[in-house]
Amino acid sequence: MERTRDIARDPAKDRTDGTRGGPAGPVSGGLLVAGTTSDAGKSVLTAGICRWLHRRGVRVAPFKAQNMSNNSAVVVGPDGRGGEIGRAQAMQAAACGVAADLRFNPVLLKPGSDRSSQVVLLGTAVDTVTAGNFRALRPRLATAAFEALAELRAEYDVVVCEGAGSPTEINLRDTDYANMGLARHARLPTIVVGDIDRGGVFASMFGTVALLDAADQELVAGFVVNKFRGDLDLLRPGLDMLTRLTGRPTYGVLPWHVDLWLDAEDSLAYGRVLGRPAPPKGDEWLDVAVIRLPRISNATDVEALATEPGVRVRLTVEPAEVAAADLVVLPGTKSTVADLDWLRRTGLADVVRAHVAAGRPLLGICGGFQMLARHIDDEVESGQGRVAGLQLLPIEVTFGAAKTVTRSVGSAFGSVPVQGYEIHHGYVSRADPAPPPLIHYSDGQPEGAAVGHLFGTHWHGAFTSDGFRRRFLTEVARLAGRHGFRVAPDTSFAAARERTLDLLGDLVEEHLDTAALWQLVEQGPPPELPFVPPGAPSATAPAPHVPAG
């Protein structure tokens, strides 16, 4: 990995107490990590900064005022009931060494279509938002976000905030409370991260500042380059020019790293194959095809499978890859009926049926499990009423108005412990005959189905339970005829996640000017940052003259 200490000061030289880049004492500070685009690296950079601070004894918490994602985690609130936050904020909480809190992500928008999203406020679904009614709902959401941040800043030394999308959405700035609206409200110094792997990083970082009004620009302190590969000497002149153009430094350059793939904020961030599969313990691989549904949710469920040696997991929409897989997974979805219709229109439903007819394993998770039913009765999510499922399991699914959001504990395959969480409106309303369950709750109640080579469950996160994951993969390999596949006896998903978080902390410490970052946290935005023209355009400004012809 390229070192960037020649760009950023060595934090070890900024301390006299023997620690590297660590703070001298607790402060009630904050920082906003904004991005030039979605998936620029805000989530991982926030987690890395959190981990760096946590390792230095700082009481630190993450915060994202508004997240738009169908990847969520279940958090038990103060009233004992389960609530949802973005999965990235749960990961960032782990980086901080604290339990996830509903206030870490007070507003979660879960897209159900291209035009509407379910609104989860402090863990509870409260409304459906569209472009038409968002402005009316915005004051309530902003107030909740501002109050949650204020409470966290009173309880923690530092709160590291993550922005949403880009702070320079000029068409949305007047209703923004997640980016510069949050920074202005809480007087947060802001750093902007750009993904150089996408190209155009200098234009996007310059443009991010140049399209903000003067008051917003006063809070933008500098930049971080993410996913750099190559010769740093070639990049350095551009960084110097960016500083001259904006009057703001680049705090460091983070290298691209192959091992940063767990807990992706957006399933679209995944490559073709998840992670970097280790060689098998036996003499055969196990191929897993996860169908990338249009409204896929909690795609992180299959990441635990990908940590196992000899298991190749890919998200795909290619029929040939689905047909060739040993195990096909229908994952969770925010829109079961709509994605089931998509599955049929693309011909993938026929591929799935052929896979099952050949006696090869199939797993449905949450919405994917519901698709396996004979019929689905949905007056809640899609409003389409009774529709035919894939008719692979002898069950019927009904959608109820009440949403199940809970953490669950039980056992499978006899006495193998398993834990997970549930987020769903649909439930099995009829089973004729009742299929053998995949899992039993701790009170003995059945959950899901395990019928020969067909498996289904409403539980997310079950494969993070190491024993359950190994037993499931062993059974899948047997059913798929992969007799040479062997599970590793010692793979720990929790340890893999900790290694990822430590890697993020290492990258921040080694490649960013952590002393300068701490100064931002402690002292706020630097004074007298220069204005970069033209600034935010006026909604009433006349259009420029364009010559005819």
Instruction: Quickly list H helices, 262-347.
Output: 303-306, 319-324, 336-345
199 by Cβ neighbours in 10 Å (0-12 / 13-18 / 19+) ranks as exposed
Indicate the pairing of strand 116-121 with strand 107-111: antiparallel
Query: Residue 541: what pLDDT?
Result: 53
CATH class given for the domain over 282-487: alpha beta
Catalytic position from the list 424, 425, 458, 460: 460
CA distances from 198 to 155, 207, 314, 420 (A): 38, 15, 22, 35
Task: Compute the Cα dihedral for 79, 82, 87, 91 and give only its sign.
Answer: positive
96: annotated active-site residue = no
In whole angstroms, give the CA distance from residue 54 to residue 61.
Answer: 9
Query: Residue 9: what pLDDT?
Result: 37
Catalytic position from the list 54, 96, 366, 425: 366
Query: Residue 155: what pLDDT?
Result: 96
pLDDT in tens, the chain (549 residues): 333 334 343 433 333 333 334 444 445 689 999 999 988 999 999 999 999 999 999 999 999 999 998 889 999 888 888 899 999 999 999 999 999 999 999 999 998 777 788 899 999 989 888 877 888 889 999 999 999 999 999 999 999 999 998 999 998 898 999 999 999 999 999 999 999 988 899 999 999 999 999 999 999 999 999 999 988 899 999 999 999 999 999 999 999 887 776 666 554 444 478 888 889 999 999 999 999 999 998 888 899 999 999 999 999 999 999 999 999 999 999 999 999 999 999 999 999 999 999 999 999 999 999 999 999 999 998 889 999 999 999 999 999 999 999 999 999 999 999 999 999 999 999 999 999 999 999 999 999 999 999 999 999 999 999 999 999 999 999 999 999 999 999 999 999 999 999 999 999 999 999 999 999 999 999 998 999 999 998 765 555 554 554
CATH topology of domain 27-261+498-515: Rossmann fold (3.40.50)
Parse the chain into domains and list their residue ranges.
27-261+498-515, 282-487
Residue 456 near residue 447 (C-beta atoms within 8 A): no
Query: Residue 267: what pLDDT?
Result: 47
424 by Cβ neighbours in 10 Å (0-12 / 13-18 / 19+) ranks as buried
Query: Residue 539: what pLDDT?
Result: 60
Determine the residue type at 354.
A
Phi, psi of 34 (to 5 degrees): -100, 165
Query: Residue 273: what pLDDT?
Result: 83
355: annotated active-site residue = no
Closest by CA to 42, choosing from 135, 166, 158, 150, is 166
In whole angstroms, give the CA distance from residue 226 to residue 39.
Answer: 11
Cα of 95 vs its chain's centroid, Å: 14
